[in-house]
Structure 1
């Protein structure tokens, strides 16, 4: 049965992918964000099931007005200041968006009888992994501002679940990648350099082993959590269960683009070249498989190949439109 779902961060990279997936299966979507691209506006023009709402999550009146006006049945919450380096450089704004914005969503849900929240969280809530593969029961001791604000939002959800009967389900994903990723980070930088015919040599970071998740798998996991009738757990890993290194990503792209000059030297990875990463690894996905029926469709090679082909196609289309 079709539902009416409010998606926060609907103009963002992951949020917009979730919006499109919900529409494709017949749901009605209220997309909420600070503003919308021409692509999103055109999608709404063509699809009466999509309503775009300009609102700031940090402004209580705007959030509650959206719930009052559009009466969603559930929420998928993707809106955030994303990434260790951006959060560290904007700590007050990150607190306001990631934590205060989530509280406003939870309060609006409480007041309007909306029970289910699917919250897109992160492996950064764990801080340093204590083993090569971890479960959802791993201690959450974030060592970044980003991870701290996301963990605070998770804990607020637990309190609202306990006190007010909300269903707050945390999707902990890892390094999500795919076509049109808006941030210049691994593995996007390798694909862009390879297609530009430019070298990309990272001076350190090649040893970092980290679960790298193709965007379609993240979207699938979020929708599986949305649809499950009853949850025994409030957190799921939506990832691959594997942890290739950054050097592995450079090597695979080099194999997919013969002649590419890509390299990641040994050593610790630094977010934005500034902030040393926490120890990473793989996320155990057995709970998501058992409870949600989740099974990732893309290992790193398959995901990078799909990203590469989509990027090539987008570049070719852009070039054809620029030079008729």
Structure 2
């Protein structure tokens, strides 16, 4: 990717808080029209990176260009062209759905008449047009999230930052948000998002990075990352706990074997052939599952399965 065509260009980017290094010398390029994701466990540096991209936190060192402008010097000019959907909804519960957008638009100097027109268009886009006169407080979590996304678009931004856009939503609401974000992608809007949901990253991201301990440990499209760090299929088997040597009998089946407390994973290119070999070795699992390799397999392989608080 050519740097001068990148909407985001970070080189050796570092963010420290005292003696703690949250972001440790990362390089990132995001092109116009791309949907780009940051994945990583808690404390990996995703939020610190997003805050620097959003020009609300200055880099400690390194270079960061947003929309062709210097993030350290041109923060106000950059923020005027950004749309931001924070992890927590910050809507005004005392205002109506429509008023939340109109008041927010006024911060960008958008004339009231145009602000109301744009607000109504955006409410239709996020399927909240029929709730424009309602107060915010009674809305469901999914509706509030869609309203927050609409608010992020009110200034017609060149770049939209979305921090955990569907956290806490039920499956139906998540899929509706995904569909609206996909529509934005189709319109050529550049999206940068953080997410803990691997299926969300696979659905939305053209390209992504996996961060761990402040560094980028992998980069590519979801398909590329799965091909590089996992296998085409994964066989999940539950073995008899009384047969302690059962996992050893799986050695050599597939590319690698991972023993978990509740099941054993066999990473392979051919799940059916692996199952046949398991049976040929005299093992009789209590349950078996053959599934395709996923971004979650990549994520856990690169960052580990230990819970990070």
Q: TM-score, normalised by structure 1?
A: 0.30
Answer with 1 or 2: which has the greater Rg: 2
Higher strand share: 2
Higher helix share: 1
TM-score, normalized by length of structure 2? Answer: 0.31
